[in-house]
Amino acid sequence: MGVAIAVVLLVVLAAVVLVSASKRRDRSAAGLSRETRKRDRANPVLAGQSSSAPTGREVEAAAAAERSDDVVTVESAPPEPFVAPDPMALGVSRRQFFNRSLVGMMGLGLSGFGGASLAFLWPQGVSGFGSKIKVGNIVELLADIETSNGFLYVQGDNRIWGQDAFNGTILWNYEFPSELRRVNTPRDGSNMCADDSSLFVAMRDRAYRFDGRTGRLLRSFPVISADAANWGYIANNGNLLFGSSVKPGSEYTKFKGTPYWYDSSGTQDTAKVCSDNLFAIDKQTSLKKWEYRGGKIINTTIAIGGGRVYFVESNSSSLRNEPTSRIDSSSLWSSLRLVALNSQTGAKVWSKSITVNKSPYPVVFFLAQAKDRLILSYSTSRFYVDAFSTRNGSKVWSKNHSWNRNHHGGHMYHPVIVDDAVIVEPYGYRLSNGGTVHRGLPQRGGCSTMSASHNTVHYINWDYDKGSMYFWDVDTGKRRLVVGSRSSCWLSLISGNGMILSPTASSGCRCRYPIQTSIGFMRR
């Protein structure tokens, strides 16, 4: 009840306030304010006028009294003739200006875009959108995509795995029996090779072909031999898979018990693995293309290039009845011949008798081909480098120099050929004429030999505490050190697909390398 009374009182109070305010506004509108009237009285001109002003009601009453019902007629004037306004005088409104600007700018933009599109799409003298380019048919395109792969294959202890070379992803991983292992490769050769899409692995008496992406076994190739034999040398070139036969058990598959046995210069540890024959197999059909039989072929001298296969063989009669293909006899270095075969047919192109410095027995014995030269490099108590012509086998030049050291591979370098330079540390000789192009090269360290790309030499650093890999730009002479990791103790810094790949090979090594992983480097 009390609340209702309070509400009624508030409503009545609000009505009173509204009425009072309305009357106050009427008085304010009808008359002058007090301040205004005060100023008027002070004005001499207005002082005589009455200070009382009529009210609003009085003004309305006076107006009503003056109204009359009489209407005054006004004569209409003749119409004025129309005269068009002067555009200059009239001008342009702001709205018209902006409208016209927007329309003009839009039209200009559309015209420019259309013209640029026509110029871009119109056929030109160079390749581009709208021009004709030769891309081949769909079968060729798919085949090119299928073979444009980048794989890294890593052999561990009785294990092989495949990785994506660009991102390191492990694609497949296989464990094999102990016969897979191949060590002391400076005296024999690798048991693996690869093409764009496949990996080939020699193991016992067969070579196996695996799909690079999936690891799936595609086919196997038996060794070609008249007697029981294992697969020795392996390589591929174009449509052919090259191989050789060795007597079973001739491969190095076990490590010696003494440290650094591979550094030895004694005859037992430096015995060279030699093949009884050399052959070529069609990779697609598995059919034999040709077979060559002559003397004892030194596996480390087989080189393929320029449509030919080159090697050094010994025709010593005392070697025919050797019980093993791992030969350390002094007879191996007599009756040596440098041989060239046609790689497609196996036909002999030429054969040349050569002599070497064999005292003491060579620690390593390599042959490499580049351009029109064959480079024979070997080590006894110093390094010897002989260059022969690929045309007929004639000797072009010969050089020799002392070892940098006789341990950790310092006396076992494989030659590295970069452009016109043959690098056998610490010297570099001109490929064409034997002139000295490098002298006192930066000392390489560790157990690895050098490898190279087009203009960069890769090798292991000697400073174990800092790390491992050096990249030497032969054009600028600058070196870049990559610390913390290392490649293997032989040729494992690999150039391919615009990258430098370093498969892991430090597990179990006594050297201090904290990073044990495969690494891929790309040029910046």
pLDDT reported for residue 134: 42
More confident residue, 183 or 487: 183
pLDDT reported for residue 485: 72
Q: What is the mean pLDDT of residues 78-88?
A: 66
Q: What is the mean pLDDT of residues 266-275?
A: 86
More confident residue, 436 or 144: 436
More confident residue, 428 or 177: 428
The answer to whether residue 467 is domain-embedded is yes
Share of the chain above pLDDT 70, in %: 69
Gap between the Cα atoms of 396 and 374, Å rounded: 10
Q: What is the DSSP letter of 273?
A: E
Place of tokens 């070892």: 403
Peptide bond into 79 cis (omega under 30): no
User: 3-state SS of 168-188?
Assistant: CCEEEEEECCHHHCCCCHHHC
Does residue 16 register a pLDDT over 60? no
User: Which residue from 381, 377, 202, 363 is spatially nearest to 275, judged by alpha carbons?
Assistant: 202
pLDDT tens column, 272-319: 999 999 999 999 999 999 999 999 999 999 999 999 999 999 999 999
pLDDT reported for residue 282: 96
Band (206; pLDDT cuts 50, 70, 90): very high
Does residue 29 register a pLDDT over 60? no
Give 306: exposed, middle or buried? Use CB within 10 Å, 0-12, 13-18, 19+. Answer: middle
The answer to whether residue 495 is domain-embedded is yes
Gap between the Cα atoms of 362 and 478, Å rounded: 34
In terms of residues, how long is the chain?
524
Query: Of the spans 57-66, 91-100, 378-387, which averages the highest pLDDT?
Result: 378-387
Question: 467 and 486 in contact (C-beta within 8 Å)?
Answer: yes
> What is the domain count for the chain?
1
Does residue 55 register a pLDDT over 90? no
User: Which residue from 193, 191, 217 is spatially nearest to 204, judged by alpha carbons?
Assistant: 191
Pair type for strands 421-424 and 427-430: antiparallel
pLDDT reported for residue 524: 65
CA atoms within 13 A on the CB side of 420: 8
Pair type for strands 373-379 and 383-389: antiparallel
Gap between the Cα atoms of 232 and 246, Å rounded: 6
The answer to whether residue 207 is domain-embedded is no
Question: 162 and 171 in contact (C-beta within 8 Å)?
Answer: yes
pLDDT tens column, 326-383: 998 889 998 999 999 999 999 999 999 999 988 778 999 999 999 999 999 999 989 9
| Token code pair at residue 268 | 């037992």
Gap between the Cα atoms of 371 and 361, Å rounded: 30
Does residue 141 register a pLDDT over 50? no
pLDDT reported for residue 326: 93
Range of the domain at 523: 442-524
More confident residue, 56 or 469: 469
Question: 438 and 427 in contact (C-beta within 8 Å)?
Answer: yes
The answer to whether residue 234 is domain-embedded is no
pLDDT reported for residue 48: 52
pLDDT tens column, 454-493: 878 887 765 555 556 778 887 787 877 777 776 777 777 8
Gap between the Cα atoms of 307 and 397, Å rounded: 24
Q: Which of 20-24, 91-95, 402-406 has the lowest mean pLDDT?
A: 20-24
Does residue 260 register a pLDDT over 50? yes
pTM for this prediction: 0.70
The answer to whether residue 124 is domain-embedded is no
Cα dist from 76 to 69, 70, 72, 80, 420, whole Å: 21, 19, 13, 12, 113
pLDDT reported for residue 44: 57
Question: 30 and 61 in contact (C-beta within 8 Å)?
Answer: no
Q: What is the mean pLDDT of residues 219-229?
A: 94
pLDDT reported for residue 128: 37
The answer to whether residue 509 is domain-embedded is yes
pLDDT reported for residue 142: 45
Does residue 415 register a pLDDT over 80? yes
Gap between the Cα atoms of 489 and 503, Å rounded: 11
The answer to whether residue 258 is domain-embedded is no
Does residue 238 register a pLDDT over 80? yes
Query: Of the spans 96-100, 395-399, 465-469, which averages the highest pLDDT?
Result: 395-399
Mean predicted lDDT score pLDDT of the chain: 79
